[in-house]
Amino acid sequence: MPIDADNLRELQKHGILQEQVSLAHYTTWRVGGPAQWLAEPSDAEQIPTLLRWAANQEMPVRAIGAGSNLLIADEGLPGLTLCLRRLQGIDLNGQTGRVKASAGEPIPTLARRAARLGLQGLEWAVGIPGTVGGAAVMNAGAQGGCTAERLLSVDVVALEGEDFSIQRLERDALDFAYRHSALQGRRLLVLAAEFQLEPGHDPGELQRRTSGNLNHRTSTQPYKQPSCGSVFRNPEPAKAGRLIEGLGLKGRRVGGAQVSEVHANFIVNTGEARAADIRNLIGMVQQKVAEAHGIQLQPEVKRLGFEMAA
């Protein structure tokens, strides 16, 4: 049923629904304008209710997680923005290796907890700056591993339409490929994901492996500055970072945005960047690589709000 005035006030009273909230605090780049309405549900059952309200108000709806791999326009976002970072919870079965995690759960947390139980399969994820839901949508990966290798199913809800009931999609329906899933082309919100890991491994060895992966990432990537993680997909067999570095673009700046001097496939906010600076620097890097190598780098970054800013 639609939200009436009393229910709306109750959601606002508990901080679940807020008006005119800066989204710069909700992205790892620390840029972005305000959300007209921002909802941070802590229970999946609250989400269909919020979606029905937005539909009744004829509002557009967008969803974000931890704000990594995300660039939000300086002008902000009209309508309802759903932030799922409070939607957390992990259920691990150390005997069977079955794991279910809520969409807002940080995937490094899931990787560490699985390792402590001797469940193998997510050690690569310990340095990924994102959530379980985002990892499923993007088929996130690192260190030779990826989400699709272990994912069994996702629970989703449609962001628009008339049916906001929660549905389950099995892995075969998700059309996984490198940094791709069918979820990227559909107006569906991931609420939870289920994985099959390998039980019975030595927890100490798995934890040493996760620590090694994390140390490698922190020593080779700019973890001390705001970024979104890798900006471009690797145009296999080439590596985006090597192409960019080979053109001498490390350190190149547009406003407060800079191609990292640590890893060329990262763009960092030096402190005063705007979303427009980052967007323009992405475009400049693409142009330089295309001119030099005939390769059009494809961003991993999801962009929101730029259709209104154009």
What number of other Cβ atoms are within 10 A of residue 65's Cβ?
26
Choosing from 85, 171, 179, 217, which is the catalytic residue? 179
Is there a catalytic annotation at residue 230? yes
- Cα–Cα distance, 107 to 130 (Å, whole number): 6
Q: Is the Cβ–Cβ distance between 22 and 33 less than 8 Å? A: yes
For 244, the 3-state DSSP assignment is helix
Strand order in the sheet with 257-259: 253-254, 257-259, 267-269
Query: Phi and psi dihedrals of 38, rounded to 5?
Result: -125, 125
Choosing from 40, 105, 123, 300, which is the catalytic residue? 300
- Cα–Cα distance, 263 to 241 (Å, whole number): 7
- Cα–Cα distance, 195 to 203 (Å, whole number): 18
Q: How far is CA 79 from CA 25, 99, 212, 261, 281, in A?
A: 18, 34, 43, 38, 28
Is there a catalytic annotation at residue 162? no
Q: Residue holding tokens 């390998």?
A: 198
Q: Is the Cβ–Cβ distance between 128 and 108 less than 8 Å? A: yes
Is there a catalytic annotation at residue 165? no
Q: Is the Cβ–Cβ distance between 191 and 169 less than 8 Å? A: no
- Cα–Cα distance, 46 to 34 (Å, whole number): 22
Query: Which residues, other chains included, contact 18 with Cβ-Cβ below 8 Å and sequence gap of 6+?
Result: 12, 37, 38, 39, 40
Choosing from 102, 227, 230, 260, which is the catalytic residue? 230
Residues marked as catalytic: 179, 230, 300
